[in-house]
Structure 1
Amino acid sequence: MESWVHAGSWEEIRRTPKTVKGGESGIAVFYHDGEVFAVDNRCPHMGFPLHTGSLCDGILTCHWHHARFDVKTGGTLDPWADDVSTYRTEVKDGEVWVEPFSRQKRNVEQYRRRLREGLEQNIGLVIAKAVVGLVEAGEPIEAIARIGVEFGTRHRRGGWRSGLTILTAMVNIAPKLDRRGRILALYQGLVHVARESAGMGTRFLLEPLPGEVDPDRLARWYRRSVEVRDVRGAERVLLTAIRAGVPEERLADMMTAAVTDHFYMDTGHALDFQNKAFEILKHIGPEHREEVLTSLLPQLSEAERSEELHRWQSPVDLVTPLRDAFARLEELEFGDAVGSVDERALVERIRGDDPLKTVSKMTEALEKGLSPVRLAQLVVLAAAERIERFHVQNDFGDWITVLHTFTHAHAVHETLRRSLTKEGVRAVFHGAMSVYLDRFLNIPAAKPPNPDGSPGSDPGDPADLLQLMEKQQQVVEAAVWTSAYLDRGGEKGRLFNTLGHALLREDAEFHSFQMVEAGMAEHDRWEEEDSSLAQEATRTMILAMTRYLAAHAPTARELPHTARIAWRLHRGEKLFEEPGE
């Protein structure tokens, strides 16, 4: 018994529990019903010492939050607490000995199981602990996200919505974050999936159509089903195409055509969610196509179609000239040129107040050989400038109005980068008209930030930006600080990590996650080229992100507080003590 630890005499432990070295924070040894039991002294819920708890009828109860454990097996009766580790004991010559090696070993599979349980029970702390454990164990981010996607696509009858969009966005920005930021990103995404799925019912898929079916015919059937809001018919057609091995690019084209048959569907969310679904498939694998892609369909049953709205028809009819332009596109062979027109002037035109001229100029640009992908990128830039110049005297809710346009335009850009189709190009024009409709939110336009200091001076510490956002509505001040940081050559990597933390330390609403992810992605696209327009565009994306985040901070920060608890518990800190004790 060389490795065993002496806990005391049988008589001593009968009178009072003992603690010995071992485990995470010591081992608690108890006498109960003629036997001796040993468990980790650290309550797995919040770390309170279990030797101070109560033991009755084989149930050990922690005195902090009343988590209950079977003292023999360590199993918990409460789903919000983890099982506690147990240890072998032996009585020899009236003395009690404990083997200081747990019978249960925490491993990656256990953390995966706990993550699934946390999602099922919608318990934030359980999710946070599992994420911390998995990340610290070296589990790939994609593998962790896969668990959330599998859960969210199955256990929400209403299909794909904001939770899975947030999770995908956070997986996308994770490479720009430090380790703690990656934990927060995954945790935030997974918690939103759990919250949105709670009590929403299980989604059961239909069977595909029997026999062989022509893919072109399937595409027509799918489009017709979406047109008449026949979600179940569209689901069966889509499943048939997937099972038949239709390539992912062709699936995307089929789905994009159906969404863009209508203008700016569901304030842009329909295309945005679809884009995110295809993005997450790149992370978690094509074997998840059936549950992921079909999860997009329920929202289409009641999706708003903007060509039916008054503001798209009066006082200026936007619908008829767009349809005329789309007819011209049918006869057009797309080019792949960049810079074949005055791109800065075209961006200004898109942000202008003559939508009919905008449609004409965009069509002419395509006829001159401008790449539709590039045109989509220019629309994104125009939409970002709406946010960069959004005046804080506007109604606060209108931040979301300009955000919708921006994230839709970003989704269009990414969709066309994935696969260029004439049906998809229609959405570029939809986005441009939404930029036009948002014009009143730049009247007056916010003044460009006027930072102090000169290039070459100390750019400052990005932590100062976080401090600025500790106070509400520091939109102008945050933009000035960020502008100065960029002018002085501040490192963008540090700034992006800081912006990520500015988002993730808040109880952020859905659109803030969209803003940061789309802004970072579009910044990186422009960063790939060397031009004066690209330099302007990268700056615009950063300032748009900064202003939006500053407008929506601070919050109560309940979610990140839970993640911080999980992080501290994983490190073995004693939460029940005041700092410095």
Structure 2
Amino acid sequence: MENFIYAGSVEKLKENKVKVVKGGQHGVAVLFHEGDVYAIDNRCPHLGFPLHQGSLCDGILTCHWHHARFDVKSGGTLDSWADDMTTYPVEIKQGEIWVSPIPHHKQTISKLRERLKNGLEQNLSLVIAKGVVGLIEAGESAKNITRIGVEFGTKHRQRGWRSGLTILTAMTNILPKLDKNGQILALYQGLVHVARESANMGTRFLLGPLPLNETSSKPSLEKFAQWYRHSVEVRDTQGAERVILTAIESGATNEQLADMMMTAVTDHFYMNVGHTLDFHNKAFEVLEHIGAEHRAYVLTSIIPELSNASRSEEQHSWQSPVNLVEQLHTTFKELTPTLESKSTTVAQVDEQALVNHILGDQPGETLKALLTALKEGMSPVKLAQIVTLAAGERLARFHVQNELGDWITVLHTFTHAHAVHESLKRSTTPELIRAVFHTAMSIYLDRFLNTPAARRPKPDSTVSSVPQAEELLQMLDRQQQTDQAGKWVITYLAQGGDKQDLFNTLGHALVREDAEFHTFQMYEAAVTEHDHWQKEEESFAEYAQETMILALTRYLAAHSPTSREIPHTARIAMRLHRGEKLFEDEN
């Protein structure tokens, strides 16, 4: 019986009913029940209670901590929130018990994937956490984990794409900024929000493409775009879905689909306070992670929201006391001629002056300045980047005398600006460029939230070395540390602190909280915009990078701390995977 574990005699086990022997990570419980001998891992797979202290009746072993029930023969659980027990082969030789150290069923990546899917379907946070931890530790790629969440979320919510899938996409985007524990928490946060948002929301069935006739020519892409645009205009989401599916079936590229869908979205101003365009952008971003074969479900999932999305040109604030709608329509009449006649050589545009224009209180002058920048050769992508910086300034200079809820107003503008910037990197149609101007007008409407503007902090002159990142996390354990956190991060940067360490710390400040949807958006947008500016060498680019970091830090501080229930579950899963004890004996 080489390598087998000796567990004593059958007669002794009959008398004592259970014996724990060395084996595995946690010991092996050997049980005598109804004339047979069984060997199981002594750690409850749910939360680690010693199973030898459980009760065995009618072939069912019950853990006394949370009453999880297991079939002692197969190890299978009767409770969906628990995992199956690990069981070991037993051999009896001449009345002596020997246990194989190799379990009946080994954990595999395939099984972990299925368990993660089960956690999503049952909306079980601990099961989701165990799935993510197990998969990451087994070497599974983050993109494959994201794919599982996206496949589930786009199929099991009748109302389609919402904040959960946006969080999951944003967290997938920023994984390179985080250490392994941070990556686990980020993916887990996204998946938990997908599961919660999909719970009891019904399965979404695709309508299918139009039945194209093989003997006649297919409608042109221009025709599809025309149909789609009209469907969105009249809020016909079913018609819009069939057009998109037909375009996919006809071989449309992602860029062509994006142009078609973004045109319809930007026909209206700042739809659903920016969320509509942001969700569209995130849908195309996640396809870059998980593959174009998922386009049908992913792209149609963002259509249901269009049925009741608000359109800002219908809002009083966009029409009075200043009629921004009229000014925008006038500007858009000049947009295409401006693009057609723009300079082939880029003029030296004063970027700081342009930001100041956008932050000013003369919307007509702002619109003219944006048109002039385009005419002088500035690319639409660069213009969108500068507008996003101006939106970031609103957050960096947000005064704490405003109500806490007002943060969301300026956050909406910033994340919309970021989504426009990212979308224009795919394609720069005149229709999509309109969204840059929409953002600028939203920045104008937010001006009173910078009245007065918070002062930009200066480095602490009493600090002569790089502050430790842990200091920031400790600061964010307390409420109302917005301005203090801003000063800390400016001091950190002035002392030459490592930005990668800082972004990892800020990432942990996010994923350790029961963060609200917009906070996830804030982190991803600010870090991404920072990295775009980091590719440039001018002093203005350094100022822009600092603005993004300051805006992010102040926003996180304003929304910390929370009860931290969600990440606590993930940390339990991490400890269980490492074999740590959650249940402690009194001795």
Q: Which residue of 1 aligns with 2:372?
A: 364
Answer with 297-306 or 92-101: which moved more.
92-101
Matched to 1:347, the amino acid is: V
Cα shift readout 1:26-74 (whole Å, capped 9, x = no counterpart)? 1111111111111111110001110110000000001111111000000
Q: Which residue of 2 aligns with 1:542?
A: 549
Structure 2 counterpart of 1:407, from 415, 419, 423: 415
Q: Is the 8 A contact 1:336 1:371 kept in 2?
A: no
Q: Which residue of 2 aligns with 1:486?
A: 493
Cα shift readout 1:418-466 (whole Å, capped 9, x = no counterpart)? 11110001000000000000000000111111221389x3111111100
Structure 2 counterpart of 1:250, from 242, 246, 256: 256
Q: Which residue of 2 aligns with 1:202?
A: 203
Q: CA–CA distance in 1 between the matches of 2:68 and 2:55? A: 11
Q: Which residue of 1 aligns with 2:45?
A: 44
Displacement of 1:308 after TM fit? 0.2
Q: CA–CA distance in 1 between the matches of 2:496 and 2:336? A: 46
Q: Is the 8 A contact 2:86 2:104 kept in 1?
A: yes
Displacement of 1:577 after TM fit? 2.1
Displacement of 1:336 after TM fit? 7.3
Matched to 1:486, the amino acid is: L
Call closer, same or farther: CA 1:338–1:402 in 2, change over 3 Å: farther
Classify the secondary structure of the residue corresponding to 1:259.
Answer: helix
Q: Is the 8 A contact 2:77 2:84 kept in 1?
A: yes
Classify the secondary structure of the residue corresponding to 1:418.
Answer: coil
Q: Which residue of 2 aligns with 1:476?
A: 483
1:185-224 matched pairs, under 5 angstroms: 185-211=186-212, 212-224=218-230
Identity of aligned residues (%): 64
Q: Which residue of 2 aligns with 1:158?
A: 159
Matched to 2:3, the amino acid is: S
Displacement of 1:23 after TM fit? 2.2
Q: Which residue of 1 aligns with 2:177?
A: 176
Call closer, same or farther: CA 1:511–1:362 in 2, change over 3 Å: same
Q: Is the 8 A contact 2:4 2:98 kept in 1?
A: yes
Structure 2 counterpart of 1:386, from 391, 394, 416: 394
Q: Does 2:350 correspond to 1:342?
A: yes
Structure 1 counterpart of 2:516, from 503, 509, 519: 509
Q: Is the 8 A contact 2:174 2:524 kept in 1?
A: yes
Structure 1 counterpart of 2:359, from 351, 356, 361: 351
Could you state the TM-score of these two structures normalised by the residue count of structure 2?
A: 0.97
Q: CA–CA distance in 1 between the matches of 2:177 and 2:372? A: 38
Q: Which residue of 2 aligns with 1:79?
A: 80
Q: Which residue of 2 aligns with 1:11?
A: 11
Could you state the TM-score of these two structures normalised by the residue count of structure 1?
A: 0.98
Q: Does 2:458 correspond to 1:450?
A: yes
Matched to 2:147, the amino acid is: R
Call closer, same or farther: CA 1:377–1:335 in 2, change over 3 Å: farther
Q: CA–CA distance in 2 between the matches of 1:161 and 1:522? A: 23
CA RMSD, 1 decimal: 1.3
Classify the secondary structure of the residue corresponding to 1:331.
Answer: helix
Corresponding pairs, count: 579
Q: Is the 8 A contact 2:346 2:376 kept in 1?
A: no
Q: CA–CA distance in 2 between the matches of 1:36 and 1:90? A: 9
Q: CA–CA distance in 2 between the matches of 1:225 and 1:490? A: 52
Q: CA–CA distance in 2 between the matches of 1:302 and 1:370? A: 36
Q: Is the 8 A contact 2:347 2:377 kept in 1?
A: no
Q: CA–CA distance in 1 between the matches of 2:411 and 2:121? A: 31
Q: Does 2:425 correspond to 1:420?
A: no
Q: Structure 2: give runs of 5+ residues left out of the alignment.
A: 213-217
Q: Does 2:569 correspond to 1:562?
A: yes
Displacement of 1:339 after TM fit? 5.8
Q: CA–CA distance in 2 between the matches of 1:12 and 1:429? A: 82
Q: Which residue of 2 aligns with 1:260?
A: 266
Classify the secondary structure of the residue corresponding to 1:448.
Answer: coil
Q: Does 2:284 correspond to 1:278?
A: yes
Q: Is the 8 A contact 1:340 1:369 kept in 2?
A: no
Matched to 2:91, the amino acid is: E
Q: CA–CA distance in 2 between the matches of 1:5 and 1:96? A: 8
Structure 1 counterpart of 2:560, from 553, 563, 568: 553
Q: Which residue of 2 aligns with 1:520?
A: 527
Q: Structure 1: give runs of 5+ residues left out of the alignment.
A: none
Q: Which residue of 1 aligns with 2:142?
A: 141
Displacement of 1:337 after TM fit? 6.2
Q: CA–CA distance in 2 between the matches of 1:532 and 1:96? A: 75
Q: CA–CA distance in 2 between the matches of 1:59 and 1:509? A: 42
Q: Which residue of 1 aligns with 2:329?
A: 323
Q: CA–CA distance in 2 between the matches of 1:337 and 1:297? A: 40
Q: Which residue of 1 aligns with 2:582?
A: 575
Q: Is the 8 A contact 2:46 2:82 kept in 1?
A: yes
Answer with 42-51 or 361-370: which moved more.
361-370
Displacement of 1:15 after TM fit? 2.5
Matched to 1:500, the amino acid is: G
Matched to 2:258, the amino acid is: A
Cα shift readout 1:395-424 (whole Å, capped 9, x = no counterpart)? 110000000000000000001011111000
Q: CA–CA distance in 2 between the matches of 1:43 and 1:359? A: 64
